[in-house]
A and B are shown apart, each in its own frame.
Chain A
Amino acid sequence: MEQETRPDSREPDRGKAAGEPARSVRGGTASGLSTVVLSIPADRDQVVLVRSVAAHIGVRLGLSVAELTDLRLAVDEACGVFLLSPDFGGVGETLDCRFEELPGRDGEPPTLTVTVSAPVGPTLGPDVDDIGWIMLGALVDELSWRAENGVGTVRLVKRLVGRGA
């Protein structure tokens, strides 16, 4: 796992060859807030890495124990949207996870925005009646799914209430 500081945040590399282990963590800082990007092989055994990164970021952001618990579960369930779907390709694919601290708009508190993205076919999407998706909605302040140009993204937003920008 490497960590580098860059003055701007970048999109994760998508040009990895099939079968090439794609485990990398990059960090960047823009305007005093940070972005961490983590790519894992699309494999259930790797989701623990995403939970771990989420937990450490949460600690740095000063989340309470309860909030940390919820965040770890939320990122896990977000990965599950892809990995548990029978429609998901899997082999050779990566899940790209992005943890971004963003300033609040118009007096709103700053947020931790987490996105989990992967290539998806037209039939893959969250089952809104699935217990995992329902729980996910209760764990974060905003939850959304978007599929665009063959890439599906689960987006989670956690408001960082009571913290300075």
Chain B
Amino acid sequence: MDRFAVSAGESGEGRFVVTVRGELDLAAAEHLWKELEPLITPGGLVVLDGTEMTFLDSSGLRVLLQAAKRATATAATFRLVAPQPAVQRVLELAGTEGFLETRADVPSALAA
């Protein structure tokens, strides 16, 4: 049983859905960034599907914010879908509204 799993799928040119399952913590954060970073391309869209992401700590949050910042710098879009309460709690505590684009579900995140 994996505590953390990342997989990516292309959904049109330069459009990726990165699926994160499990606990995005200080052990997993670096691995996620390695997978995520190359997918953030100029004018592209990366959706992080965290529907099954059950835990997020400050290390994981840092990667999400890094992705958002990189997207802004390369005129790309990074959107987060992360409905689980434990993750919502962290986003709320850290006050990420305005720094991280979130959507309720993947189809909304993929929409223009």
Main SS of the interface on chain A? Answer: helix
Query: B-contacting residues of A (Cβ < 8 Å)?
Result: 44-45, 47-48, 51, 65-66, 69-70, 72-73, 76-77, 79-80, 83-84, 130-132, 134-135, 138-139
Cβ contacts A to B, 13 pairs, < 8 Å: A44-B25, A51-B55, A65-B85, A76-B57, A80-B26, A80-B57, A84-B59, A131-B61, A134-B94, A135-B58, A135-B90, A135-B93, A139-B93
Cα distance A131–B86 in the bound complex, in angstroms: 16
Cα distance A36–B90 in the bound complex, in angstroms: 27
Main SS of the interface on chain B? Answer: helix
Residues of chain A within 8 A (CB-CB) of B86 are: 69, 72-73
Residues of chain B within 8 A (CB-CB) of A132 are: 57-59
Nearest opposing residue in chain B for A69, CB measure? B86
Interface bracket on B: 10 to 19
**Is the Cβ of B3 less than 8 Å from the Cβ of A80?**
no
Residues of chain B within 8 A (CB-CB) of A48 are: 3, 23, 25, 27
Cα distance A135–B91 in the bound complex, in angstroms: 10
Q: In residues 18-34 of chain B, which contact A (Cβ within 8 Å)?
A: 23, 25-27
Q: Contacts A130-B58, A131-B61 known; A84 to B85 CB distance under 8 Å? A: no
